[in-house]
Amino acid sequence: MEIILLQKINKLGNIGDTVKVKPGFGRNHLIPSGKALRATKENKEVFETTKAKLLEKNKNEIEKAEKIRAEVESLNLMIVRSASDTGILYGSVTTRDIVNLIGENGIILSRRQIALDKPIKELGLFDMSVILHPEVESKIKLKVVRSLGDTTPDIEDKKDADNSSDEINAELNESLLEDGVSLKTVETISEEVKEEISSENKAPEKSGTE
């Protein structure tokens, strides 16, 4: 079916565009929610008379959304959850949890505005989007930790520790090479020891007299 969009809809079009959609999507969602009109001759005439007001209303809504975006992006969002030694949560963090956390900071959003593909089930720092308006999207970070005293998630700490260890080992190896020291693995050293023992066993015994 053909409809006239009354607001911008991602992957469909902008205000005033006439587009084709599946009948169920148009009748059950877009038209009842006031986001579109059926593209009849009468509705096209109605739209032309109200187009200026719709564009002005949309502009005002964008300005409000931009203000909220600045507020949302200034938040330091952190959620405390119990987790195993490997960082897996005993439970999960959902869009409801995130909306409630943002709400505690005086910003009221709906769960549908949080772009989260699946619940968060481990400690860490996560990026996500908040849809404040069809034309305004906010990027936020959420830190999931074991306690409020944690400055960084345990998983990040472990990664940093592993990377630091690798860097130290690399610097040590480089220093030894510059000093002319040959680096050998444990396996290589083990093989050399075995060869020395084998050579000693094979060497002929010296007689008591020459």
Q: Which pLDDT score is estimated for 147?
A: 76
Q: Which pLDDT score is estimated for 127?
A: 94
Can you give the residue ranges of every domain in the chain?
A: 2-65, 77-154
Asked if 2-65 and 77-154 have one fold, the answer is: no
Q: Which pLDDT score is estimated for 114?
A: 96
The yes or no reply on domain 2-65 and CATH 3.90.1170.50 is no
Q: Please report which confidence band the pLDDT of residue 161 belongs to, taking 50, 70 and 90 as the band edges.
A: very low
Q: What is the β-pairing status of strands 124-133 and 114-115? A: antiparallel
Q: Which pLDDT score is estimated for 201?
A: 53
pLDDT tens sequence across 106-127: 999 999 999 988 899 999 999 9
CB-CB contact of 49 with 37 (8 Å): no
Fold classification of 77-154 (topology level): Ribosomal Protein L9; domain 2 (3.10.430)
Average pLDDT in the 17-42 region? 93
157 has pLDDT over 70? no
**Residue with tokens 């005002």, as numbered in its chain:** 60
4 has pLDDT over 90? yes
105 has pLDDT over 90? yes
| Range 148-167 burial, b when 16+ CB lie within 10 A, else e | eebeebbbbeeeeeeeeeee
Q: Which pLDDT score is estimated for 186?
A: 43
Q: How many CB atoms lie within 10 A of CB 191?
A: 12
pLDDT tens sequence across 175-210: 444 444 444 444 444 555 455 545 555 555 444 444
Q: Pick 161 or 171 by higher pLDDT.
A: 171
Average pLDDT in the 54-81 region? 94
Q: pTM here? A: 0.63
Average pLDDT in the 131-152 region? 85
**86-95, 144-153, 159-168: range with lowest mean pLDDT:** 159-168
